[in-house]
Structure 1
Amino acid sequence: MDYLKRGTAGFRRANFALFAGGCNTFAVLYCTQPLLPEIAKEFHIPPAAASLSLSLATIALAVSMLFIGSLSEAWGRKGIMTVSLVAVSALCLWSSYSANFYSLLAFRIAQGVVLAGLPAIAMAYLGEEIEPKSLGVAMGLYISGNSIGGMGGRVITGMLTDFFDWRTAIFGLGVLGIAASLLFWLALPPSRNFKPRPLQVGKMVRSLASQMKEPRLLCLYGLGFMLMAGFVTLYNYIGFQLTAPPYSLSQTVVGWIFVVYIVGTFSSTWMGLMADKYGRSKVLRSALLIMLIGVCFTLSGSLPVKILGIAVFTFGFFGGHSIASSWVGKLAVRDKAQAASLYLFFYYTGSSIGGTVGGIFWTDFGWSGVVGMIVCFLVLAFLLLARLSASVGKQQGRPVLEARQ
């Protein structure tokens, strides 16, 4: 195998390209989240309807990710990723001219479909092209690009909306996306170890169906759903509360609150290490408890305490997600790629459903209703984890609380 080795120009170019691509992908995906109050105001729609601009994009992404990875097995890696980045950036530019809310939703659905091209393929590219002993570093850089893009996109759109309007903010993000796509295309080394295989749709569908029959994996898929449903619900509607009296914060300030994502970069790594040491069940339970404490802090009327609660909640979420997603690979006996795709499908479906239903709770019950809904998601997550821990513990023939796999 002709691997890209750490310290070489090709290794640096590959990491730079995928970092830029990850930033672009997740900046565009979440760009409307801090703008939901502005979108609701302009189109005279309730918050739950405004949230569809994010929810429909994520559900389209979830469905596309089930299939696009298999397409790349036949059509190649770099080409699909490049087309995906260019297309989503162009759609971002066009969506800023949406004449009405329905056309904005159509653009967002199309973005969700083409967005899948990078996250569904990037890890496969890295696994094929990077030498095994350097793969952890490369994967970490790619994932950090995802989180920085998600955070940066929210901050940029929040600031541009304050200075101009939400349409200019989305257009500006599209311009940055075109530049990132060009850098990606120029920098990413072509695949050298990729071997195309015939597209076998029937085999892929059968593999996905078989993963849905494994109870332990179903528990993990449910955990991914509950984690992301709660996380996106909080971030979708916190902006509505903070831009209204008594806080009356600007879009710029609300956008900068997303900087608390940085704590997630730390917690995902730290909790992963703790899971290896103390066991996945125990540390994931701790992550859920941290999320529960954090979301309850947001009920405080004090702005510093509320922001602290958001940070604590975010810390727990990223730690919990990192453990749950890595656990899928441990429990999947075969077809690990399809098992991971299903986890992401449920994960993003949770984002879509929870993020929209949360708007109903916000409209009818205010912030306490949103928090109550998130607490329900977390309670269900605790129950799923208990079921999973019991199953794993019995299979390993030792006490459940000591189960480490």
Structure 2
Amino acid sequence: MNDPTPTTATSFHIKRGSAEFRRTTLAMFAAGFATFALMYCVQPLLPVFASDFRVRPVSASLALSLTTFTLAGSLLVASAVSEAWGRKNMMAGSVIGAAFLTIASAAIPHWGAFLAVRALIGLVLSGLPAVAMAYLAEEIDPKSMSLAMGLYVGGSGFGGMSGRLITGVLADLAGWRIAIAGIGAIGLASGIIFTSSLPASRNFTRRTLSIRHLARSYAAHLADPALRLLYAEGFLIMGGFVTIYNYITFRLLAPPFSLSQAAVGMIFAVYLVGVGSSAWSGHLTGRIGRARMLPIAIALELAGALLTLSGTLWLVIAGIALVTLGFFASHTTASAWVGAAARGARAQAAALYLFLYYLGSSLVGSLGGFAWSSWGWSGVVTVIALLLLAGLALAVRLATLPSRRAEVM
């Protein structure tokens, strides 16, 4: 599991079609799957937490928001820490550690203690997303990079869907504690697959952690107007997306729909739409450019949110699917644009984007609970619409900035 420092100047890169490429992509798919399943498994259970622990919906949402909040803050230093600890070591420890914590959380009887463990899970999980892209960039042949990254993203999306769907179904059959323990066990198995499959780093060189250098990199990125807008976009689009998924369960479990927990869990299968939309948006962006693709994607997310106001179940499901399609397309476009617009230190540029992205998930995802308690679903959709309208305005502004030169690259 160790990451040896290369002893020669010759770099070895893993190429598509090789046994090591298959091992690497299997490992990264498993890691992405585990990370997002462990993170989002609680989302369909928020109404259950509100009932069992006798807390308000906004308090129930903390089961997810605290995880993404601690993950967001930790991302800013996790990539730098991996320079000293080693890529594989940090990723393996993140996945396996979070899996054990998830299993342990299923037995916790008190709400405060449960939230504390969920916050710790976010801290531990930060080592995976912060380091995965760096590992792939160092070890994979550039011509094979798109496929390797696509499989990692696909595993992440599939894990996010599976975590929501499996817990929804298991909670109906055996209770929420068994459901969370089951997801923890799946995450542990995925972590073992990751650790045994991923080749040791060959192109990694250990470096001393320098807070001063890290701070300088972040300051330089924040001085770029285009990057600042892209970071704000991450906050807005993720905030709207998570808020939909946090509170749609409350709506679907209540009249007039009155669905079972298992049925609500099955609806999360529309997440597969998002997994496919990442590839679709990447292809379309190559034809029309990021400056055009981003507002189109945000508009789709907004249209889906408005569609969920319907009192007809199939239209609500269609709205959730459209929100998912638009979100994945906008996130794919914005995150790729960050890499194109950054002038060096791209790992730190990506970390800042992910920080604002998960901060939006944490803050807006919980604040949406006040809208639900005060004004019902129309209040939630109003909050989301305001966020996405702001995102559209920023996308239009982004297209006029000098850094637009990078948008077709």
Is TM-score (shorter-chain normalized) higher than 0.5? yes
Residue of structure 2 in register with 1:305 after alignment: 315
2:178 corresponds to 1:168: yes
Letter aligned with residue 42 of structure 1: D
Task: Give the CA deviation at 1:392.
Answer: 3.4
CA–CA distance in structure 1, aligned partners of residues 305 and 196 of structure 2? 43
| Aligned-partner Cα distance in 2 for 1:161–1:53 | 16
In structure 2, the CA distance between the partners of 1:404 and 1:124, relative to structure 1 (3 Å rule), is closer
Equivalences for 1:144-183 in 2 at 5 Å? 144-183=154-193
Residue 99 of structure 2 aligns with which residue?
89
2:334 to 324, 340, 364: 324
Q: Is the 8 A contact 1:228 1:348 kept in 2?
A: yes
Q: Which residue of 1 aligns with 2:260?
A: 250
CA–CA separation in structure 1 for the residues paired with 2:336 and 2:266 = 30
Kept after mapping to 2: 8 A contact 1:222/1:346? yes
Taking the aligned partners of 2:174 and 2:283, their CA distance within structure 1 comes to: 44
SS in 2 for 1:193: coil
Equivalent positions of 1:67-78 (< 5 A) are 67-78=77-88
1:265 maps to what in 2? 275
TM-score by length of 2: 0.95
Q: Distance in 1 between matches of 2:189 and 2:307?
A: 40
1:391 maps onto 2:407 in alignment: no
Q: What CA deviation, in whole Å up to 9, does each residue of 1:324-355 have, x standing for no partner?
A: 11111111112111111100000000000110
Provide the rounded CA distance (Å) in 2 between the counterparts of 1:391 and 1:77.
Answer: 36
Q: Secondary structure at the match of 1:180?
A: helix
- Cα–Cα, structure 1 residues 404 and 82, in superposed 2: closer, same or farther, change >3 Å? closer
Q: Return the alpha-carbon distance in structure 2 between the equivalents of residues 334 and 61 of structure 1.
A: 24
Unaligned runs of 5+ residues in structure 1 are 397-401
Whether 1:345 and 2:352 are equivalent positions in the alignment is no
Which residue of the partner structure matches residue 32 of structure 2?
A: 22
Does 229-238 or 78-87 show the bigger shift? 78-87
Provide closer, same or farther for how the CA distance between residues 137 and 404 of structure 1 changes in structure 2, counting only shifts above 3 A.
closer
- What are the residue-to-residue correspondences of 1:278-297 with 2, within 5 Å? 278-297=288-307
Q: Secondary structure at the match of 1:181?
A: helix
Q: Separation in 2 of the partners of 1:19 and 1:274?
A: 24
Deviation readout 1:20-46 (Å, 9 max, x if unpaired):
111111000001100000001011111
TM-superposed CA distance for 1:403, in Å, is 7.2
1:403–1:123 CA distance, 2 compared to 1 (3 A) = closer
Separation (CA, whole Å) in 1 of partners of 2:12 and 2:146: 18
Partner residue, 1:112: 122
What is the Cα deviation at residue 372 of structure 1? Answer: 0.5
Q: Which amino acid counterpart does residue 277 of structure 1 have in structure 2?
A: R
- 2:137 pairs, out of 127, 131, 134, with 127
RMSD: 1.4
One-letter identity of the residue aligned with 1:296 = L
The code of the aligned residue for 1:206 comes to: R
Cα shift at 1:183: 1.4
* 1:62 matches 2:85: no
**Do structure 1's residue 205 and structure 2's residue 215 form an aligned pair?**
yes
Does residue 376 of the first structure (1) align with residue 393 of the second (2)? no
SS in 2 for 1:299: coil
* Runs of 4+ with deviation above 6 angstroms: none
| Structure 2 counterpart of 1:399 | none
Whole-angstrom distance in 2 between the partners of 1:124 and 1:212: 21
Letter in 1 for 2:286: D
Tell me if 1:240 matches 2:216: no
Q: Is the 8 A contact 1:126 1:135 kept in 2?
A: yes
Residues in 2 aligned to 1:205 and 1:98: alpha-carbon distance in whole angstroms:
38
CA distance in 2, matches of 1:197, 1:174: 33
Q: CA deviation at 1:5?
A: 2.1
Superposed displacement of residue 210, structure 1: 2.0
125-134 vs 162-171, greater mean Cα deviation: 125-134
5+ residue gaps, structure 2: 1-10
1:266 Cα offset (Å): 2.1
1:83-109 Cα offsets, whole Å, 9 max, x none, are 111110110011111121100110011
SS of corresponding position for 1:120: helix
TM (norm. structure 1) is 0.96
Task: State the 1:123 CA deviation.
Answer: 1.2
* Paired residues of 2:337 and 2:407 also in contact (CA < 8 A): no
Tell me the distance in 2 between the aligned counterparts of 1:315 and 1:232.
13
Partners of 1:223 and 1:121 lie apart in 2 by 22
Looking at structure 2, the residues matched to 270 and 344 of structure 1 have their Cα atoms a distance apart, in angstroms, of 22
Q: Is the 8 A contact 1:392 1:403 kept in 2?
A: no
Instruction: Please state whether the residue corresponding to 1:197 is helix, strand or coil.
Output: coil
Amino acid paired to 1:177 = G
Counterpart check, 1:141 vs 2:151: yes
Distance 2:187 2:392 in 1: 39
Give the letter aligned to residue 103 of structure 2: L
Letter in 1 for 2:115: L
